[in-house]
Amino acid sequence: MELPEIPYEVSFRNIKFPRLEFSTGKLLLILPFGYSPEVIVEKYKNWIMKKLGFINECLKESYQKELYQRKKDEIDEILNKLIKDASDDLGVRINGIFWRNMKTKWASISSKKNLTLNTKIQKLPIFLIKYIIYHELAHLLEKKHNENFWKIIQRKFQNYKELEKELFIYWFAIQKEK
């Protein structure tokens, strides 16, 4: 298989094993010192091509997505209900809610149980905001994205893989809005 010219960035770090990421639609090679980027790209070309196909599909779908414009009191009301519902369902509590403009994530939760939301979340349909909230609060039960974590998610969202794809599509839709 001939690999098309793929722009990528390389970050050399003091690590043992190479990692490839497409976190925002761009290929990032995180490599141990001394590794050849060209050798890694060649070795993982099938995985790269599969991911590129997925990204291109999501990019196309992003043109049909409607972005929402919500006022602060409207999004606050939505979030309060969704956080209460997810907290009750999972049996967890958060300390506070914070807003930040994030470059690669929709949200995060700290070990101090503070929920940080990307300001872009306001533009999403409610069903995706609900999923993001549940996903983050589930991290209070299981920190890593391991098998146990996805079992927790699947109890409420059996279609979580489709929701993850929708979030990726909306990420592109929001980026194009700028």
Report the candidate in 117, 84, 85 with the shortest Cα–Cα distance to residue 99.
117
pLDDT at 1: 47
pLDDT tens per residue, range 23-36: 666 889 999 999 99
Q: Buried b / exposed e across 72-98, counting CB within 10 Å, b at 16+? A: eeebeebbeebbeebbeebeeebeeee
Write out pLDDT tens, residues 113-128: 999 999 999 999 999 9
Between residues 151 and 55, the one the model is more confident about: 151
User: Do residues 14 and 47 touch, judged by C-beta distance below 8 A?
Assistant: no
Name which of 88, 97, 81, 92 is nearest 143 in CA terms: 92
**Do 62 and 172 contact (CB within 8 A), yes or no?**
yes
Select from 69, 77, 169, 159 the least CA-distant residue to 120: 69
Burial class (CB in 10 A: 0-12, 13-18, 19+), 63: exposed
What are the residue ranges spanned by the domains of the chain?
A: 8-62, 72-177
Q: What is the mean pLDDT of residues 165-169?
A: 95
Q: Are 20 and 28 in contact (CB under 8 A)?
A: yes
Please state the pTM of the whole predicted model.
0.84
CATH code reported for the domain at 72-177: 3.30.2010.10
The per-residue pLDDT for 114 is 97
Distance, CA of 64 to CA of 66 (rounded, Å):
7
Counting every residue written for the chain, the total comes to 178
